[in-house]
A and B are shown apart, each in its own frame.
Chain A
Amino acid sequence: MLNPRLLQTPRAHALILLAPALIVYTVFAIWPMINVIVLSVQRWDGLSDARTFVGLANYEHIFLRDPVYWVAFRNTILWTVLSVIFPPVIGLLLALGLNERLFGRGALRVVYYLPVIIAPIAVATMWRWMYDPFFGLFNQLLTNAGLEWLIRDWLGDRTIALYSVFVAYTWQSVGFSMVLFLAGLQSVDRSLVEAAHIDGANRWRVFRHVTLPALKPVLTIVLVLSIINSLKAFDIIYGMTQGGPAQSTQMLALWAFTQAMQIFDFGRGGAISVTLLVITLLIVVPYLRWTQREEGRP
């Protein structure tokens, strides 16, 4: 039996307090991350006992013989670039606008943020219906406006499907960047802005030389979060196109899922996951080191 006095030390209490969270986090978040590397060097259908070590054969397959992998790779990069540009820029513009003392700005903020709290799968269902080629919102509006020549099968046309999905994603994610920028704008020194105005600086120059420098930390956070969130893009694509038509909206996260959970090739699915994980770490690790450095500063 343990000495009961041992349980009264601060160290023991720390362990008791830490244990539940750390155990569940390590077992169900960290371990799968390590295990995916193990899976990626095996051939396995996910259920049977037949697991064989195959070395780098899965990587060789996805890199050299899987035509979909590179399509998914290209789409993921394109999607990430778009996600780093459009939602943050629109979010920043909205935040700058809402930072002025305007009538009803609280209500406007609520409206812009509303899509963020909706399940991505519901956003996918909503937009699928709006993109419906026959009775959907967009083609109806185009017909009413006499612009029939613009009518498209928005999700069925492989040249535009990815962009159609991205529009829905932008609608959902702009509010997230906006809220972070609005919080960041609170840290901009009002007296500095007013002083610049009195000195005759126009709005653009005030923004460029006073507001923007003060927003730098938030800007970094928004960009990093945008990249990470975009690499996670799964629900909205699964719900809208499932990667189609003709793999034109296929992404790495979804392709890894498809390989493992639908084709039952856990090895190849694992190898795809590992490549995505490496890309994520290339962004996360420098960012974490940067935040540690910033924290060290006075």
Chain B
Amino acid sequence: MTAVTTTRPADEIVPAKRRDPLLIALWITLVVIALIWIAPFVFIFFTSLKSNAEVMSSSAFAPPASVHWPNFEGAWRNGDFGRTLINSTIISFVKVPLGLLISAMAAYALARIRLRWNKALVLFVLFGTMIPFQVMLAPLFTLVNGLGLIDTYVGIILPYLAFGVPYQVFILQGFFRAVPKELSEAALIDGASHITVFRRIFLPISLPVLAALLILDFVNTWNEFAMALVILQDSAMWTLPLGLMSFQGQFSSDYGQLNAAIVMTVLPAMIVYLIFQRYFVSGLTSGALKG
């Protein structure tokens, strides 16, 4: 009873909003679309927990009658997920922080040290954000092969760094440019070098942007497929996406295991996203919209 009386005044303050039929229709539409958007995940997840017999007999969105864990065990073993998971982890954990560091260094120099060719260099870097590396898979293979780095971590990390640099440098130099002059000038007059100013002042204040870029880059690196396909040919060096692709080819009719493999591949990126989702949006939009 008390709840009813206390909500009444609030009702009277926003009567127009509550009764706006257009907004209610809009809300219902958005929820229905969201349900459609999430349906594939539900379908995949349910299938991953069903035995093959149940997949063929039960309807698509029926929850599994009894949880069939052997799918995950089988997919883990048959897809060699232990190995691909380790490869993906090593490559991402080396590439992402290293790439961010060299990008931040270059961005600082472009934004805060007066050079004659600053503007040209920024354009040169910006150009790289728009060039599709899918066009260059063959020459990339030729280059990495010429260096004797096919099927090595270094051989895949170097191109990953190269194609991560443009976007990150571009965003960070925009950010550094907006930092007030007073912050660095005093230190420079006191005799600190640019490298010290970068390390002691600019790195700490740009932590939020760096965090956003770190997460964005982690997901991109984790998901990358085309370059890995060309450079990592030995199955012992495969990353998760390559492992999933091969698994799909071999076990396409073992529906339970196939879906378990999909769940295991997408879960890490999904968890990272759900934990850090507000950084994603800022990392994505800060650059694109100021561009």
Contacts and interface: CB of A to CB of B under 8 A. Distances in A.
A69 to B, nearest CB: 15
Interface stretch (A12-20, A80-88, A157-165): A12-20
Contacts of B195: 13, 16-17
A144 B130 contact: no
A24 B44 CA distance: 40
> Main SS of chain B's interface residues?
helix
Interface stretch (B2-10, B205-213, B266-274): B266-274
Contacts of A29: 128, 131, 133, 136, 159, 162-163, 165-166
A130 interface: yes
B118 to A, nearest CB: 9
B289 A20 contact: no
A225 B129 CA distance: 10
Interface stretch (A56-64, A206-214, A232-240): A232-240
Given A260-B138, A261-B141, A276 B37 contact: no
Contacts, number: 287
> Main SS of chain A's interface residues?
helix
A14 B26 CA distance: 53
A121 B109 CA distance: 37
Interface string B123-140: 101111011111111111
A8 interface: yes
Given A13-B195, A30-B128, A102-B26, A111 B34 contact: yes
Given A14-B113, A29-B162, A273 B136 contact: yes
Given A97-B26, A121-B241, A234-B134, A180 B285 contact: yes
Contacts of B223: 117-122
Contacts of B47: 129
A144 B60 CA distance: 10
Contact of B289 (A17, A130, A184, A253): A184
A276 B22 CA distance: 45
A23 B288 CA distance: 25
Interface string A186-220: 00000000000000000100000000000001100
Given A14-B194, A25-B165, A119-B240, A232 B126 contact: no
Interface residues of A, number: 95
B171 interface: no
B258 A120 contact: no
Given A102-B30, A118-B266, A179 B281 contact: yes
A84 to B, nearest CB: 15
Given A35-B139, A101-B17, A180-B289, 9 more contacts: A29-B136, A121-B223, A121-B244, A126-B262, A137-B60, A171-B37, A180-B285, A224-B130, A238-B225
26 contacts: A11-B113, A11-B115, A22-B106, A25-B166, A28-B161, A33-B136, A35-B143, A100-B23, A121-B244, A122-B223, A125-B248, A125-B262, A126-B40, A135-B55, A135-B255, A144-B59, A176-B284, A218-B289, A228-B132, A232-B134, A234-B225, A238-B229, A253-B135, A256-B135, A261-B141, A273-B139
